[in-house]
Structure 1
Amino acid sequence: MAEPDHVDEIIAAWHTQLPDVAGLPLELAKRSALLTSAFDIAAAGALEKLGLTPAEYGVLAVLRRVGPPYRLRPTELTHALLLSSGGTSNVIKRLAGAGQVVREAAEDDGRSSWVRLTPAGVEAAETAVREVTAAHGRLVERIPPAQAQLLNELLRSVLASVEEGVLVRG
């Protein structure tokens, strides 16, 4: 069993104040949030050095991972990034101003457009993805490999169960 941590202190306090909320769901939520925060902080440090915001990184990374010609419709980006359409539009404008993306009219629909990475955008995306992955790797290297792999498999299973529950209730 692992040493007691900050979450154990939180759970103990809630056990005193509201015993009905102090339990496994709260522990899982708190530990998951702390883990997510650690990855976000590591990514933010890498992105700051590159002069990118997390939202800009999100757009660059999504466009790069779809492969050539590295383009999506703005609505697809909004959906992939879980941003508002206005937020996506602002990020696209900033990246276009930096020469990393261009907006192109859709050939098949005059009301629609594409957002495409420029060669500079492809380079920026690849650099950013490598830097963020390296920052995440520095966190993960502290976990014994077998334990990290087990955690990965458990998280896959847990996420599938949680997503199924959300979709069923949705």
Structure 2
Amino acid sequence: MTDRTGVTENPSSDGADAIQEAWARERPGTPVASIGVITRIWWIGRVLDEDRRATMLRLGMDAGTLDLLSTLRRAGPPYRLPPSELARRTLVSPGAVSQRVARSEREGLVRRMRSPEDGRGVLVELTEAGHAEVERTVDDLLTHEEGLLSALTPGQRDQLAGLLRILLADLSAR
């Protein structure tokens, strides 16, 4: 039996193997080894995306808000950054940051303030409510996602993270 990602009941073979074998048979000499890696990464990405959406819905948090709150939380005390730095760290446009900040400010999760250094610049600061919300959400989310990796040993996780880091760096440089 095969599910929507091509996974079968036999963990030593899945739909990616069948696709790779079929192309190798039908087009001898065509390089097909990438299928085993890229197809699985694509399928895993879809599964993780669907899972993250469902988990965020269950937690009552949208991805953009979590991204904003998490970025401020990871900045450390006093949990504030200028909007330009938020855009740089979250890899979204300044306009998207502005929308996220406005929405989170209405919800009482962040506040805008003048920079104490020069009084002209604006900083976005995590409120107590925002801090509590990000702590709760991150605890639940990361505990859940830890379970998603339970099929791998800690060593396998480290190895996979290292290999994915290499691949991501190479693909990003193209």
Asked if these proteins are the same fold (TM beyond 0.5), I'd say: yes
- Same amino acid, percent of matched pairs: 26
Segment drifting more, 100-109 vs 32-41: 32-41
- For 2:140 and 2:112, the matched residues in 1 are separated by 26
**Over aligned residue pairs, what C-alpha RMSD do you find?**
2.8
Q: How many aligned residue pairs are there?
A: 164
CA drift at 1:28: 2.1
Matched position secondary structure for 1:108 = coil
Alignment of 1:66 onto 2:75:
yes
Alignment of 1:88 onto 2:97:
yes
Amino acid in the other structure paired with 1:49: R
Question: After the TM superposition, which residues 1-170 of structure 1 pair with which residues of structure 2 at under 5 Å, given as runs?
Answer: 2-12=11-21, 15=24, 16=26, 20=30, 22-24=32-34, 26-109=35-118, 111-141=120-150, 143-145=151-153, 148-160=154-166, 162-163=168-169, 166-167=172-173
If each structure's helix is expressed as a fraction of its own residues, which one has the higher value? Answer: 1
- For 1:127 and 1:49, the matched residues in 2 are separated by 13
CA drift at 1:118: 0.2
CA drift at 1:158: 4.3
CA drift at 1:64: 1.1
Note closer, same or farther for the CA distance 1:165–1:57 as it changes in structure 2 (3 Å cut): closer
5+ residue gaps in structure 1? none
CA drift at 1:79: 1.6
Segment drifting more, 71-80 vs 6-15: 6-15
**Residue deviations 1:92-140 (CA, integer Å, cap 9, x gap):** 1111110001111223345531111100000000011011112212212
- For 2:31 and 2:120, the matched residues in 1 are separated by 51
Instruction: Please say which structure displays the higher CA radius of gyration.
Output: 2
Matched position secondary structure for 2:117 = coil
Amino acid in the other structure paired with 1:100: L
5+ residue gaps in structure 2? 1-9
CA drift at 1:13: 5.6
Note closer, same or farther for the CA distance 1:91–1:11 as it changes in structure 2 (3 Å cut): farther
Note closer, same or farther for the CA distance 1:48–1:154 as it changes in structure 2 (3 Å cut): closer
